[in-house]
């Protein structure tokens, strides 16, 4: 067990799929006090792990726990990852991004339990919300969304640049109606959170029982994955919580055609698409959520990573053929 001199201030950044959690952590890292070491623990629903690759660019020490929802990996896998991260980084602060498809209660239990009592101290839990989603009963009634909101000490409307004034007013009325009342409610864009919000103690409002929902994971890969040199095209799938993911790890010498990847990413059956890929025109970071596409130049990596999440199971081999075609690999 790690033995830090004082408990490490730790914050959870919660919010639904694609709301801007990684963007917010990247922004916080850019504004961290000089000389401090910050560590980030990130858990993605998919097996491939894209966010970790992005977060490393801002100088944080990053540990990924890919695969499944945090509520299911919050036990031993998270403890192992967290202990290794703390031992390696000896961080001044720890930020945790659980998957947007996750339920926060188990992770809160783990972090506030006996084992971590002297290792870390949980600061305010920050939950990001996209106000545009508040008219959708599928979101409002979603147990993960409700519990992410219930767990929040600080509730933040993000993506306000994409919102109508009326949508922001709906957010404000909804936030004001929550019981118990949220001590702090803010509006922001591009995940801009104030570093000062991270200080203090978590209020730990009541969140429903961890397994009030039922789901199973079928982990495609329990054994250690082969290296990218051994197997230059790796396809991995995951399912759970009514969602499915298909991911790829691809040798960087297999350059992808950007337009073909974008055509694949715009499939309206996808809830989320993200990728860090080597294209014929250089490295690109691709994000698609709610039909909004962002494609930015990126730093070179040891491999390309692609991930998509859907509510319905897709035919993985059909999607694989599309991506292979984008890489110029045809049968």
Footprint of ligand GTP on this chain (CB under 6 A)?
15, 17-23, 51, 100, 158-159, 161-162, 189-191, 272, 287, 289, 294
The long-range contacts involving 111-115, CB below 8 angstroms and separated by at least 24 positions, are 111/10, 111/12, 112/202, 112/204, 115/1, 115/79
Which residues, listed in sequence order, are joined to residue 122 by a DSSP beta bridge? 10
Nearer to ligand GTP among residue 139 and residue 325 (C-beta): 139
Query: Nearer Cβ to ligand GTP, position 314 or 325?
Result: 314
Q: Is 307 in the site for Mg ion (CB under 5 A)?
A: no
Biggest CA-to-CA distance, the chain: 59
Q: How many CB atoms lie within 10 A of CB 209?
A: 10
DSSP state of 112: H
C-beta of residue 75 within 8 angstroms of C-beta of residue 268: no
Taking the complex as a whole, the smallest distance from the CB of residue 287 to ligand GTP amounts, in Å, to: 3
Residues 40 to 99 in contact with Mg ion, rule: CB under 5 A:
51
Question: Whose Cβ is closer to Mg ion: residue 66's or residue 123's?
Answer: 66
Nearest to ligand GTP of 19, 265 (CB atom):
19
Closest distance to ligand GTP from the beta carbon of 98 (Å): 9
Residue with tokens 């509520």: 71
In the chain, what is the straight-line distance between the N-terminal and C-terminal CA atoms, in Å?
51
102/251 with CB nearer ligand GTP: 102
Q: Which residue is nearest to Mg ion (CB)?
A: 22
- Residue window 184-213: x/- pattern of binding to Mg ion, with contact defined by CB under 5 A: ------------------------------
CA distance 14 to 29: 16
Residue ranges that bind Mg ion, judged by CB under 5 A: 21-22, 51
């Amino acid at each position: 067990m790690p033995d830090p001199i004082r408990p490490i201030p730790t914050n959870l950044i919660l919010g639904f799929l694609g709301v801007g959690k990684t963007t917010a952590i990247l922004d916080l890292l850019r504004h961290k006090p000089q000389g401090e070491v910050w560590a980030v623990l990130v858990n993605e629903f998919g097996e491939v792990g894209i966010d970790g690759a992005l977060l490393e660019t801002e100088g944080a020490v990053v540990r990924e726990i890919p695969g499944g929802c945090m509520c299911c990996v919050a036990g031993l896998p998270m403890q192992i990852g967290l202990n290794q991260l703390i031992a390696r980084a000896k961080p001044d602060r720890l930020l945790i991004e659980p998957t947007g498809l996750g339920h926060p209660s188990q992770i809160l239990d783990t972090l506030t339990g006996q084992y971590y009592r002297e290792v870390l101290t949980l600061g305010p839990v920050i939950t990001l919300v996209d106000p545009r989603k508040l008219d959708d009963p599928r979101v409002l009634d979603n147990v993960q969304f409700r519990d992410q909101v219930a767990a929040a000490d600080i509730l933040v409307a993000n993506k306000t640049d994409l919102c109508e004034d009326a949508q922001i007013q709906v957010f404000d009325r909804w936030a004001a109606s929550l019981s118990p009342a949220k001590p702090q409610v803010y509006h922001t864009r591009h995940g801009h959170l104030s570093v000062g919000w991270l200080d203090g103690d978590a209020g730990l409002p009541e969140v429903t029982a961890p397994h009030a929902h039922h789901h199973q994971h079928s982990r495609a890969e329990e054994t250690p994955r082969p290296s990218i040199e051994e197997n230059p095209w790796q396809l991995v799938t995951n399912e759970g919580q009514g969602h499915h993911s298909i991911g790829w790890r691809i040798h960087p010498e297999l350059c992808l055609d950007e337009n073909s990847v974008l055509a694949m990413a715009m499939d309206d059956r996808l809830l989320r698409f993200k990728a860090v890929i080597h294209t014929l025109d250089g490295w690109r970071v691709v994000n698609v959520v709610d039909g909004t596409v962002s494609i930015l130049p990126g730093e070179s990596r040891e491999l390309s990573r692609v991930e998509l999440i859907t509510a319905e199971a897709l035919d993985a081999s059909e999607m694989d053929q599309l991506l292979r075609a984008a890489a110029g690999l045809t049968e």
